[in-house]
A and B are shown apart, each in its own frame.
Chain A
Amino acid sequence: MKWATGSADPRHRAASPDLMAALLERGGEGVVLCDADGVVTLANPAAVRLVPRLEPGLPLPALLDVVPSAPEGRTVTYGGREIRVRAEELGEGRTAWYLTAETPREPQQTLRTKFLLEAARRLSASLNPHRCARAATELGTDFLCDAAIVLLPPTARRRMEWVRAVSGSSGPDEGVVSAAAAAEVPGLTDALAGLREDAAGRQDPAGTPDWLLPEGFGPVGHLLVLPLPGNAVPAGAIALARRAGRPPFGEDDQVMARDLATRAGAAISAASLFREQSTVNAILTGDLLPPDLPEIEGMRLAGRLRASQQAGAIGGDFYDVYLPEAAPESGIVHRPPLVILGDVCGKGARAAVLAGQVRHSLRTLLLLESRPERLLELLNRSLLASPSPNSYVTLILAALRSAPGDHVLVDLAVAGHPPPLVLRRDGTVEEVAVRGSLLGALKKISLWPVTLDLGPGEVCLLYSDGITEAFGGPSGREMFGEERLKRALATCAGMPVDALVERLEQLSTEWLRGGQQDDRALLAVRAGRGTSR
């Protein structure tokens, strides 16, 4: 500090006590003077703002009782804020204390809040593990580092997929390395084993393998490698790199890096789990997919199966066609083609498994038995013996025999299913008088099979209750119902069978008016080869 001395101009004379007092009064730094007994003799307003208990004549508050040894002072917390305290001996036991509020920590907290919000938004946007990994790397480069690399856990073939974002370059890139090469990344093996007790993931940047960063990235100055915590096993690891010359990862950065790893790990493991379950579901529901309908001499078949739109609630409607053996060996029964349409109890994977079980059981039984009612009795026994609960199935079996004059004789057996409808040549629609108990519930089932004679152009329609129980209509709460289905079918006289099922399905969909739909299955058999009467 310099003082003006000996100047001729009075305005440049040495500062007067008044001026000194004004300086102290208005200064931003807190100044406290105290005497040898530790009693405050002066405290400027800035000091009192920081420590309101300062008052001339009273002893120094406890926080100012130790003179900091370091010239830059020390930081104390008072009243929820951090205050840097310096002290200077002024001689004769007097001490001057200088108090300054530490730079408020708000900016860093705001950054963390912003980061957490962004992390939540971006990481929850996808159920695809790769997209989650991309989001994690971009969060890394946006908030923490120059390059962020997510390594996904090794696959069965000992290879690891990586996703990398580098600040300043366009979108993340991806690749695959062998697990052995990946192990060169310092700390990666520990991170993948879920070990994170080491110094907050800080690793020796000199050990960074070349493949981890793109060409021209330059030397790495600072490297963090953290596990991505998953369900029991880590969902991978993330490496965060700063170029040489950039500041090291501070404490706040490391907290944020751990936040990033935790959130990315949760998102990636949830996405991986979802992917696995989707795969399993796809395999299971494959058994519910309708088969391609074959050409059968003397008749036409058409079917539609519409699965429920509710995710994970695949219902149990199914249909299938069993053609006779082309060249039956001895011991294999000779029989006509058989179509079936059924509905298993419940929804989801359990229903899919049960439907698959019914279809495969029937395929096997058909090698030895051809009478529809006998087949149903055998299926019933097999379902009763099934250890899984609620193995209830409703089913229609229809054996299709070509008869002279383009007629088709349909041997129908119905187990607990809505009876088929018949569209006669004159446009009338009948419900076939056939019924029987549902399968899987009772030891002794009752069946009343019938044989139906379809003339040329006449149609037998098998359907599931998803068609008639579609809720919708003008009120949105009315069932489509059997009467409406019969009336709709009556308008289809003369139509090709493909167009007929399409029209019925469309009418049922329109009835739903966008409402939630259950599974719906339709299967129609039309006698004769032609498409018109």
Chain B
Amino acid sequence: MQDTLPFQVESLVSEPGAVRLVMTGELDFGAADEASAAVDKALAEDLRLLELDLAGLKFIDSSGMAVLMNAYMGAGECGAGFRIVALTPYLRHLIEVVALDDVLGLPD
């Protein structure tokens, strides 16, 4: 598609032991590596809670969905909590399609 929005991820320490990754743009095949790296980096820091702010994600494909799944499972393996704090209606719909809405604990 034309005018693709570059993917960006910003890492914020929301409270001690908690990292919030703010992802914006298009999380697709080309951006998946960068997003994964940000998740891995966050999880490497003896984390208590991993939060994802996905309100700025315009598009996500299967590779992007895999990043979210890996983040969820990676947090579980580290004994850290996982929470999606914000997302678009489109992304919520996609997560419902893959029936992960209960698992990922979406915000109301």
Contacts and interface: CB of A to CB of B under 8 A. Distances in A.
A441 B29 contact: no
A313 B29 contact: yes
A435 B97 contact: yes
Given A313-B29, A435-B99, 10 more contacts: A346-B29, A347-B29, A347-B63, A390-B70, A415-B99, A437-B99, A438-B99, A471-B2, A477-B1, A477-B2
A445 B102 CA distance: 11
Nearest to A343: B62
A390 B66 contact: yes
Nearest to A440: B69
B100 interface: yes
B98 interface: yes
Nearest to A448: B99
Interface in B54-108: 59, 61-63, 65-66, 69-70, 73, 96-100, 102-103
Interface residues of B, number: 21
B3 interface: yes
Looking at chain B's contact residues, the main secondary structure is helix
A343 B62 CA distance: 8
Interface residues of A, number: 32
Contacts of A389: 70
Contacts of A445: 99
Contacts of A472: 1
A346 B62 contact: yes
B97 A416 contact: yes
Interface of B: 1-3, 29, 32, 59, 61-63, 65-66, 69-70, 73, 96-100, 102-103
A344 B62 CA distance: 8
Interface in A382-413: 389-390, 392, 394
A476 B63 CA distance: 23
Interface string A417-442: 11100000000000000011110011
A532 interface: no
A516 interface: yes
Contact of B98 (A316, A394, A515): A394
Contacts of A419: 97
Contact of A515 (B2, B61, B66, B69): B2
Interface in A445-484: 445-446, 469, 471-472, 476-477
A345 interface: yes
B97 A476 contact: no
Given A416-B97, A437-B99, A437-B100, A477 B3 contact: yes
